[in-house]
Structure 1
Amino acid sequence: MSLCCYLEYIGVTVVIVAIVTIANIFSTKKRDLKGKHVLITGGSSGIGLSVAHDVARRGASVTLVARNVANLQKAQEEVEGTISSISGGGKVQFFSADLSSNAEVAYRVVKDAEASLGPVFMLVNCAGFARAQKFEDLSPQLVKSMMDVNFLGSFFITQEVVRSMKQQEEGVIVFTSSQGGLVGLYGFTAYSAAKGALIRLAESLHMEVKPYNITVTVCCPPDTDTPGFEEENKTKPIETTLISEAAGLFKPEDVARKLVDDALVGKFFTTSGLEGYMLTTLCTGMGPVTDALSFFSQVFLGGLFRSVSAFYLWSFGRIVETEHQKRMASKKVE
């Protein structure tokens, strides 16, 4: 064997050993939800309700938290149907509460929920809403409401659950951000800011709770076929609609399944679709390294994805400019 071939062989061996070592360091055994307590905010509809069905099928007991009592009662009946279809299923309960109002509300919900079903093992923050409007059209009340519900609602209840999880020295926390939390988009000035704040919260919290065997996951779903999405579409500027269509429309049960699977192995980011994979890879920044595949994707695909993103941004810019020119032409005709 020549010296060059020998050195090449050594180099390949070192790379393989490094990959295997890193994979072992960041590999996390998938956690089991059988007999565990999962608390879901925004659990009466959409992704939250789909998460409830998914964890119920895995044998968990479920606490649903939302504001509308009628929707919660209907959701409870549906999840109970899922539980009855499997052997050894758990229980389901609900609490009507506005978690964004103050920390005391979150405290009472967690204490009452744990009194019935035991310590919360997994918290899934799905409560939130979007309103897409031009920046100057956003009212102060709407901006405050989006920040309160999308950020503070998750902050307060997570703070209370973390106290409990640290005592148990185990737990899984999930924040539901958005692809709009990874990249600012036309019409989403307030929404993207609120959802982006959740990602920074999750990064910081991940560092704090890791010694206690608590993992933190951020879900960044694309547009998902939910009642909230239908409501969001009522005020969307045409530019926002055309830009959002690029990622497609996903089913809530598919998003929920991926969310639970990734959270149970401790992945920091979870998403759906090719655009979601590209965005979470490209926007990881100084985010936690929790699995080998994501780490190598970030290292080796970052440059490629940045090039692709430039095309996306150019196409988004063209949409905005085209619609602007249409409006100008329409005003001239008038």
Structure 2
Amino acid sequence: MELCCLVEYLAIFMGIGLLGAAVSIFTKKKRDLNGKHVLITGGSSGIGLGVAHDVARRGASVTLVARNVANLEKALEDVRSTASKAGAGGKVQTFSADISGDPEKIASLVKDAESSQGPIYMLVNCAGFSRAMKFEDISPQLAKQMMDVNFMGSVIITQEVVRSMKQQQEGIIVFTSSLGGLLGIYGFTLYTAAKGALVKLAEALCQEVKPYNITVTVCYPPDTDTPGFEEENKTKPVETKLISESAGLFKADEVAHKLVEDALRGSFCSTTGFEGFMLTTLCAGMGPITDAASFLAQVFLTGLFRSISAFYLWSFDRIVYQEHQKRLASKKSE
């Protein structure tokens, strides 16, 4: 009995010791954006604009990149107002560009942005769009556009910024994926493919840039109340709507604030809500280990979350089957 108790006590102390070691290894001091340069693609609306307001309050100089000139002009005024109210001294500038376009133009954009506001310390890739529809209804042109904007757009500008960050020996890179980048969802075949590709890009890039004191963060937003979400709903199949509703609808500013906080801590994953926490934990695989909390969650909760995921998947399949039966019944009644 005494030996058993001794073993139990040793196990407890070892567990505490391992936890302490993990915390000491993976806990990092949150970085400061005051006086730093942050470039945000897709920065004129939605999550990108929310990030712009957040970093402006922290004293960062901000560069907004988007296609719509009118939206950029309004965003410029709004972010400048935010910086002024916060008493921050950061400057704000805008560039109208298609990030999936000519790589030479993107290179020129990065060069111009840095010449006026200094080296880019933080790059936030928020530009992207989705169209929810059945796989066979997606035209080859739309499929290419979704891959170009959601994946290649982030690749092109990140390549340019990484070159600069390596010279500076510091930096933060953020990719905005989606919960769909971790989970195949009815109606999002091409979108989830593009967003999933971003995750693997980020995992590999994280290893490449680590020696240069550059960190990589992937944001996995749930459904977020943005203009892009409104546009997405116009073509969204009923199955997709019912499945997506399970994670709830979040505010863009809420997602943006969590993105910035996690990126400044050097966390690889950033998400909002329970479903996001469960999916990033469950799908960690061989992904980078950057903080103690997520690492311990992956070690101890993966089995439980896999069990819970079975109920989610069952409910999703049930939704698809029921809607399929409704359509069959409707055809028979015609």
**Corresponding residue for residue 37 of structure 2:** 37
**Corresponding residue for residue 299 of structure 1:** 299
Distance in 2 (CA, whole Å) between partners of 1:28 and 1:301 is: 23
- The Cα offsets for residues 297-324 of structure 1, whole Å up to 9 and x where unpaired, read as 0111001000110100000000000000
What TM-score do you get using the length of structure 1 for normalisation?
0.99
4+ long deviations beyond 3 Å: none
* Stretch deviating more after TM superposition (16-25 or 183-192): 16-25
SS class of match (2:224)? coil
Corresponding position: 1:61 with 2:57: no
Corresponding position: 1:124 with 2:131: no
What TM-score do you get using the length of structure 2 for normalisation?
0.99
**Corresponding residue for residue 77 of structure 1:** 77
**Corresponding residue for residue 220 of structure 1:** 220
**Corresponding residue for residue 262 of structure 2:** 262
Distance in 1 (CA, whole Å) between partners of 2:86 and 2:112 is: 26
SS class of match (1:52)? helix
- The Cα offsets for residues 32-88 of structure 1, whole Å up to 9 and x where unpaired, read as 000000000000000000000000001100000000111100000000000110224
**Corresponding residue for residue 329 of structure 1:** 329
Identity %: 72
* Stretch deviating more after TM superposition (99-108 or 228-237): 99-108
Task: Give the total of aligned pairs.
Answer: 334
Partner AA of 1:295 in structure 2 = F
Contact 2:173 2:216 (C-alpha < 8 Å) held by counterparts:
yes
Pairwise CA distance, 1:257: 0.5
Distance in 2 (CA, whole Å) between partners of 1:7 and 1:301 is: 25
Contact 1:100 1:148 (C-alpha < 8 Å) held by counterparts:
yes
Pairwise CA distance, 1:12: 1.1
Q: Can you give the 5+ residue segments of structure 2 that lack an aligned partner in the other structure?
A: none
Pairwise CA distance, 1:6: 2.1
Distance in 2 (CA, whole Å) between partners of 1:88 and 1:184 is: 42
Partner AA of 1:101 in structure 2 = G
**Corresponding residue for residue 51 of structure 1:** 51
SS class of match (1:113)? helix
* Change in 2 beyond 3 A, CA 1:79/1:128: same
**Corresponding residue for residue 273 of structure 2:** 273
Partner AA of 1:193 in structure 2 = A
Contact 1:57 1:89 (C-alpha < 8 Å) held by counterparts:
no
Distance in 2 (CA, whole Å) between partners of 1:232 and 1:25 is: 42
**Corresponding residue for residue 9 of structure 1:** 9
Distance in 2 (CA, whole Å) between partners of 1:309 and 1:30 is: 33
- CA RMSD of superposed structures (Å): 0.9
SS class of match (2:123)? strand
SS class of match (1:183)? coil
SS class of match (1:175)? strand
Partner AA of 2:195 in structure 1 = K
Contact 2:182 2:196 (C-alpha < 8 Å) held by counterparts:
yes
Partner AA of 2:20 in structure 1 = V
Contact 2:122 2:172 (C-alpha < 8 Å) held by counterparts:
yes
Distance in 1 (CA, whole Å) between partners of 2:160 and 2:180 is: 27
